[in-house]
């Protein structure tokens, strides 16, 4: 009889890819994916704890499974990811939800198969949270779900300790995979027909730091040199490590997309210092200038936080000014969320919630107006789109151009995974509408 799995993923791209690895393990154990959690034999929650709401979301959904588990006693519930790795949270989870069968840390993914087998052989919950510093696992077999895109981890962990951020505590110290393994994985994926490769790391620019391996720009160059038509993307770049060499490599290799995610976090020098970001707004603007010098059409996206402890109206204005100066094609905006164990959690002058709310509304409205302005410039142009999927509700195909803009269009036949030229007829906020055309502008 078929056995089914269901995975709920929270958080970043890294976690989305890790869920593909979890799916790989479950496939190996003979499980198949199912859409409704009610139908599954094993439910996995791959959690995130970057902000309090991410954490609450996971706790809420796990709580909702109590009734189902009471009805389906043999169903296995497993909780993994960053939340479980946080100090004391695994015990907390076990106490609140005693019906959860397996709790595993960010570093125990490689062991998941054994944990499931262990649970099947006993009644008691299996809890395994290893110290997340350390080794790099190779030879994983992710069950990829995002064709024509494929993610490849290049680094794990983070050494930056931005004062607001929990990631270094739940993902451990930064470590890099060997370039030969990464290049081999990219070659394999391209030979299997994947058309877009995204290299993942908390700070890709510091790839191989302190080892004898090649630098990040060189890694990009070597992957871009692999035969075949495909796109190459990477995220995330920490501005302090963004180099002129990297800008040149992007300019010289047509397969590397002209799109860079460069999280600014704030435009205020005092706040950037308190955040331990190790750059000023002036440094950030200089990096943008260098990038634009080599890649004038490069789309820039960013992350911004409002309401960091001590943020004054003036500091917030500096953030608005930075956004105005750069002109982001889109931005993720967040209200600061206090994370226990981080340096910022102990800071005085926490900003009142109402103040942060007003600020984020103002910031979102500025960012949206920039996004709309940039989208409008596409109208009448023809862009190359990698068709990713079909939107049933809209009855349209969709994909992105190299700058990362979502484009919707009609097609008679299924062209998922193909590159097509699309003439843009209209723009709607962050997305564009167009029609397939044979010629380029
Ligand atoms: N490594 C990446 C970011 C990973 S986390 C980088 O340094 O750019 C993604 C984003 O979440 C961060 O860029 C930041 O904007 C936001 N973030 C992280 N911790 C946060 C917190 N405590 N409160 C609000 N936003 C936070
Ligand atoms: Fe967090 Fe900073 Fe590391 Fe990004 S670079 S993961 S924001 S500590
Ligand atoms: Fe990602 Fe959330 Fe962990 S953003 S690294 S899943 S805390």
44-84: pLDDT as tens digits: 999 999 999 999 999 999 999 999 999 999 999 999 999 99
Residue for token pair 């296995």: 76
pLDDT value at residue 238? 96
- Among candidates 327, 416, 392, which has minimal Cα distance to 148? 416
Ligand 2: does its nearest atom lie under 6 Å from the Cβ of 238? Answer: yes
Which ligand 1 atom is nearest residue 261's CA?
8
Distances (CA, A) of 153 to 43, 46, 158, 255: 24, 17, 13, 19
pLDDT value at residue 440? 45
Q: Residue 266 is encoded by which pair of tokens? A: 């704030």
β partners of residue 335: 306
Give backbone dihedrals phi and psi of 374, rounded to 5 degrees, phi first: -70, -40
Ligand 2: does its nearest atom lie under 6 Å from the Cβ of 17? Answer: no
Ligand 2: does its nearest atom lie under 6 Å from the Cβ of 332? Answer: no
Q: Which residues of 376-411 are buried (b: 16+ CB within 10 A; e: fewer)?
A: eebeeebbebbbbeeeeeeeebbbbbbbbbbbbbeb
Which ligand 1 atom is nearest residue 166's CA?
19
- Among candidates 229, 217, 233, 222, which has minimal Cα distance to 151? 233
Which ligand 2 atom is nearest residue 202's CA?
6
β partners of residue 399: 387, 407
**Rounded-to-integer distance, Cα 132 and Cα 140, Å:** 17
- Among candidates 170, 168, 438, which has minimal Cα distance to 276? 168
* Number of neighbours of residue 107 by Cβ within 10 angstroms: 23
What pTM value is reported for the model? 0.95
Non-local (6+) Cβ contacts of 181 within 8 A are 138
Q: Residue 377 is encoded by which pair of tokens? A: 């410039």
Report which protein residue has its CA nearest ligand 1's atom 14.
Answer: 303
β partners of residue 431: 406, 428
Choose the residue to mutate in 165, 235, 241, 271 for probing ligand 2, maximizing ligand atoms within 8 Å of C-beta.
165
On whether the CB atoms of residues 39 and 4 are closer than 8 A, the answer is: yes
**Rounded-to-integer distance, Cα 14 and Cα 152, Å:** 9
Ligand 3: does its nearest atom lie under 6 Å from the Cβ of 427? Answer: no
What is the separation of C-alpha 25 from the centre of its chain, rounded to a whole number of angstroms? 21
- Among candidates 58, 311, 11, which has minimal Cα distance to 166? 11
pLDDT value at residue 134? 67
Q: Residue 255 is encoded by which pair of tokens? A: 């397969």
Q: Residue 408 is encoded by which pair of tokens? A: 């919707």
- Among candidates 347, 408, 360, 364, which has minimal Cα distance to 383? 408
- Among candidates 230, 229, 227, 207, which has minimal Cα distance to 219? 207
pLDDT value at residue 298? 97
On whether the CB atoms of residues 117 and 42 are closer than 8 A, the answer is: no
Give backbone dihedrals phi and psi of 165, rounded to 5 degrees, phi first: -105, 135
pLDDT value at residue 111? 86
Give the start-end residues of each E strand in 361-409.
Answer: 382-391, 396-400, 406-409
- The CA-based diameter of the chain, rounded to the nearest angstrom, is 65
3-state SS, residue 32: strand
The total number of residues shown for the chain amounts to 441
Residues with CB under 6 A from ligand 1: 50-51, 164-165, 167, 202-203, 236, 238, 263, 265, 303, 305, 334, 336-337, 339
CA atoms within 13 A on the CB side of 152: 29
Q: Residue 394 is encoded by which pair of tokens? A: 């809209």
HEC string of 107-152? Answer: CCHHHHHHHHHHHHCCCCCEEECCCCCCCCCCCCCCCCCCCCEEEE
DSSP letter assigned to residue 7: E
Identify the segments of the chain with pLDDT beneath 70.
132, 134, 439-441
- Separation of CA 101 and ligand 1 centre (Å): 30
How many degrees, rounded to 5, is the angle at CA 150 between CA 144 and CA 155? 105
Question: Beta strand pairing status for 419-428 and 382-391?
Answer: antiparallel
């Amino acid at each position: 009889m078929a056995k089914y799995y269901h995975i709920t993923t929270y958080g970043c791209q890294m976690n989305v890819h890790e869920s593909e690895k979890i799916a790989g393990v479950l496939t190996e154990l003979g499980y198949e994916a199912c859409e409704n959690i009610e139908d599954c034999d094993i439910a996995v929650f791959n959690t995130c704890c970057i902000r309090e709401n991410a954490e609450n979301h996971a706790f809420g959904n796990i709580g909702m499974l109590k009734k189902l588990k009471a009805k389906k006693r043999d169903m296995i519930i497993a909780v993994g990811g960053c939340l479980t790795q946080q100090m004391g949270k695994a015990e907390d989870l076990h106490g609140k939800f005693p019906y959860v069968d397996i709790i595993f840390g960010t570093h125990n993914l490689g062991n998941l198969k054994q944990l499931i087998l262990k649970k099947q052989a006993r009644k008691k919950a299996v809890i395994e949270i290893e110290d997340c510093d350390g080794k790099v696992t190779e030879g994983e077999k992710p069950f990829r779900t995002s064709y024509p895109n494929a993610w490849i981890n290049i680094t794990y962990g983070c050494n930056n300790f931005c004062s607001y951020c929990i990631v270094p505590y739940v993902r451990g110290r930064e470590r890099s995979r060997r370039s030969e393994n990464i290049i081999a994985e990219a070659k394999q994926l391209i030979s299997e027909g994947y058309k877009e490769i995204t290299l993942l790391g908390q700070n890709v620019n510091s790839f191989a730091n302190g080892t004898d391996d090649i630098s990040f720009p060189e890694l990009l160059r070597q992957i871009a040199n692999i035969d075949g038509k495909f796109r190459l993307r990477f995220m995330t770049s920490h501005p302090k490590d963004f180099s002129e060499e990297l800008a040149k490599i992007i300019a010289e290799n047509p397969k590397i997309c002209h799109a860079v995610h460069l999280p600014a976090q704030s435009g205020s020098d005092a706040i950037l210092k308190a955040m331990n970001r190790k750059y000023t707004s002036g440094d950030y603007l200089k990096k943008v200038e260098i990038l634009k010098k080599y890649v004038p059409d490069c789309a820039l996206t960013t992350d911004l936080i409002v309401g960091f402890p001590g943020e004054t109206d003036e500091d917030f204005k500096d953030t608005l000014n930075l956004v105005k100066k750069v002109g982001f094609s889109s931005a993720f905006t967040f209200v600061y969320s206090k994370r226990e164990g981080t340096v910022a959690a102990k800071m005085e002058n926490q900003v009142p919630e109402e103040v942060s709310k007003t600020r984020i509304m103002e910031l979102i409205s500025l960012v949206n107006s920039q996004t709309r302005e940039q989208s409008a410039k596409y109208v009448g142009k023809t862009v190359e789109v990698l068709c990713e999927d079909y939107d049933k509700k809209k009855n349209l195909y969709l994909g992105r151009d190299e700058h990362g803009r979502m484009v919707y269009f009609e097609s008679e036949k299924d062209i998922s995974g193909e590159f097509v030229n699309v003439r843009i007829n209209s723009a709607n906020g962050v997305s564009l509408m167009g029609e397939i055309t044979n010629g380029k502008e």
